[in-house]
Chain A
Amino acid sequence: MKSSPNTRRLTAALVATGLALSACSSRPGGDSGTSGTGTFSVWDPYPQFDGTSEWVKVIRKCGAQAGVDVERQAFDTTDLTNKVLLAAQQGTAPNVLVVDNPVVSTLAEGGVLKSNQDTGLDASGAAPNLVAAGQTGGQTYGVPIGANTLALYYNRAVLSTAGVDPAAIKDWVSLDAALARVTAAGKKGITFSAIGTEEGTFQFLPWFWGAGAQLTDLSSAEAVSALELWKSWLDRKYAPNSVIGNTQTTSWQEFATGEYAFAVNGTWQLGNAKKAGFEYGVIPIPSRTGGVAPAPAGGEFVTVPAQSGKDEEATAARIANCLTSPETVLATDTALTYVSAVASVQQQQVAAQPDFAVWVDAVKSAKGRTGDGLGTRYPRISQPLWTAVQAALTGSKSPKDALQAAAASAK
């Protein structure tokens, strides 16, 4: 080996940059606020909002009103539950926690959250069907910050070339007929997300509930018919095979190509829909025999975790009340494109944006996933359900067998 001066230079350079850089890195990085230090920590699942966003300004304002500094941290939704559990185990849970609604009852029963009664948090302004997700054991935990749900987006141009009238879609039969005409016209039918995560279950539920099935009985004939509907779409090429791996985001991107007639997607895509470059419309998801299917309520709760003292919990509740108060929540819900949980704010939203009315209606008839007395059992049901959906759509099991296996493992 030829010994070259390059090596020495390189090593020296590596070591030198390393030293120089790590020397200046000793300044304290984003400190994880601990309770009782005058700095209150707020954790949320909105990493898309950075320090300059409206949401972060609202947090600071609410902290200032309660007389404390706030330190905000954003996590991916899927990470947040684990992070909170681990933090709570170490006694350093955040002071205020914004968390996905189906997790609230689990955290509450785990003793991570304080009830509204204990802290003075007030959920009376929010719609009861939305608050339900935060109720367990006769207590309410937290306040919904807003809600989203699912509906059917459609592409006007594709429907009109195929001669389909969206207003005529009232049940599964008319939807199937519309899909048949669209695909016969050489366009693509419908895209949705059937990925093996909570998103997949979330998207399946309107069809599941719309068939009349209950989460307490995964293998009922109604449940099987819902899964058979999805399976038949794949078999007849009404829906692309990619739905099996689609997240709601990638499913939306398929719809945004302009090739698809329909997409099952959420309130939060409204902003993107306006940028899609074609005319779109929104109709509620039909139930099997006609009428609007109950769609699952999405969206987060602002909650107060257990802390070192009553005073801190009361201060945290003041911040949480401020975050969900009608005066501040409009800006937050607008930024998230959520439907507010508060009736008066919903009216302001519709006044500002008339096409929002369909979503407000959809949220009013939306159903909590942890409802039907499921509470903490929901996660144990949701996972077998999405597993069954995947097994049926990939053809590895029949819808019936898949759901029977799911029912067995959900017990």
Chain B
Amino acid sequence: MTRRSWRTVVGVLLTAVMLFPVYWMINVSLTPADRMRKSPPDFLPTAPTFEGYARVLNEQLPYFATSLVVASGTVVLTLVLSAPAAYSLAKLRPRGRRPLLFALLVAQMIPGIIMALGFYGVYVSLGITNTLWGLIFADSTIAVPFAVLILTAFMAAVPDDLVQAARIDGAGALRTFWSIVLPVSRNGIVTAALFAFLWAWSDFVFAATLDSGGSLKPLTLGIYRYIGNNNQEWNAIMATAVVASVPATILLVLAQRFVASGITAGAVRD
């Protein structure tokens, strides 16, 4: 019993150390502008101001909505593209799939800036900069290769007997995919969806390149507005940051377990 509470104490300490920057973010979000550069800084928000949060509510809500739409759209697009492909790679196993898998691995490695530059040229000529669809499409490139790899690993774990049985019952490939393989792979799907959401939610490079000119900006650009302009308002920056982490935190806490098993499956089956 004492051993166990000893672990709890150490665990709390470790967590406190790891989360100190997060605490600091909250502390700064409550610090009034004139105390911001005090040296040494205040370790506790002794005279908290909610000015930063008031500004977030006034100025950032549209950005918040944009981010939500873009991140959700990215999730849908990513799943629509990667789930059928993963099914094929895992269960139908057509010839020539190995180079494709390697290509996916390589695709993950291309730096976002290079992609963004390429996209910008195309988007401008199509006239789709500053559109939600454009950004969703670009953001999906961060997630699709990862989603295909994870889902392939996941679907490979579905017993072949199950697929065979469906086939004997007269189900075609599409039916098998839709009503057998997909439901069984839901942990993998949650994992892929969660990552797609988080990456799109926190994307900055694509947003800055493709969406910075119009009114439909995501939250990361909303934060950047406070950093980039003639005034660096830390309490507003940090207040936005705190608000920005809320949906992501909720999602991750809810889905944590499935994520873990999703990635493990990926590793074991690779």
B208–A79 contact, CB under 8 A? yes
8 Å CB contact of B213 from A34, A51, A74, A92: A74
**Considering the complex, which residues of chain B in the window 216-230 have a beta carbon less than 8 Å from any beta carbon of chain A?**
216, 225, 228-230
Interface residue SS majority, chain B: helix
Number of cross-chain contacts by CB at 8 Å:
129
Q: Quick one: which of A13-51 are within 8 Å of B by CB?
A: 14-15, 17-19, 21-22, 25-26, 28-32, 34, 43, 47-48, 51
Does A124 count as interface, using CB distance less than 8 angstroms?
Answer: no
Q: How far is the CB of A383 from chain B (nearest CB, A)?
A: 19
Set of chain A residues within 8 Å of B124, measured between Cβ atoms: 32, 86-87, 90, 92
A47 touches B132 (CB 8 A): no
Size of A's binding interface in residues, CB under 8 A: 49
The answer to whether A249 touches B75, judged by C-beta atoms less than 8 angstroms apart, is no
Task: Please determine whether B130 and A73 come into contact, CB atoms closer than 8 angstroms.
Answer: yes
Please tell me which one of the listed residues B37, B214, B231, B255 contacts residue A30 in the complex, with CB atoms under 8 A apart. Answer: B214
Q: Can you list, as one digit per residue, whether each of B233-262 has a CB less than 8 Å from chain A (1) or not (0)?
A: 000000000000000000000110110010
Judged by a CB distance under 8 angstroms, whether A398 is at the interface is no
Q: Which residues of B are found within 8 Å of A15, using beta-carbon distances? A: 75-76, 79, 193
Among the listed stretches B65-73, B86-94, B147-155, which one makes contact with chain A, having 4 or more residues with CB under 8 Å of it? B65-73
Cβ B125 vs Cβ A92 within 8 A: yes
Q: Which of A250-258, A298-306, A321-329 contacts B (4 or more CB under 8 A)?
A: A250-258
State whether the Cβ of B131 lies closer than 8 Å to any Cβ in chain A. Answer: yes
In the bound complex, residues from chain B placing their C-beta under 8 Å from that of A353 are none
Asked if A274 is at the interface (CB within 8 A of a chain B CB), the reply is: no
Known A10-B254, A32-B129, A73-B130; contact A17-B37, beta-carbon cutoff 8 A: no
Name which of B36, B214, B232 has the most chain A CB atoms within 10 A of its CB. B214
Interface residues of A (CB under 8 A from B): 1, 6-8, 10-11, 14-15, 17-19, 21-22, 25-26, 28-32, 34, 43, 47-48, 51, 73-76, 79, 83, 86-87, 89-92, 247-250, 253-254, 256-257, 268-269, 272, 277
**Contacts A48-B230, A249-B229 known; 17 new A-B pairs at CB < 8 A:** A1-B261, A14-B193, A15-B76, A17-B72, A21-B69, A22-B132, A25-B69, A29-B134, A29-B214, A32-B128, A47-B225, A47-B229, A48-B229, A76-B212, A79-B212, A83-B120, A90-B124
A/B interface sample: 10 pairs, CB < 8 A: A6-B254, A18-B72, A18-B75, A22-B72, A26-B133, A34-B127, A73-B214, A79-B208, A90-B124, A248-B230
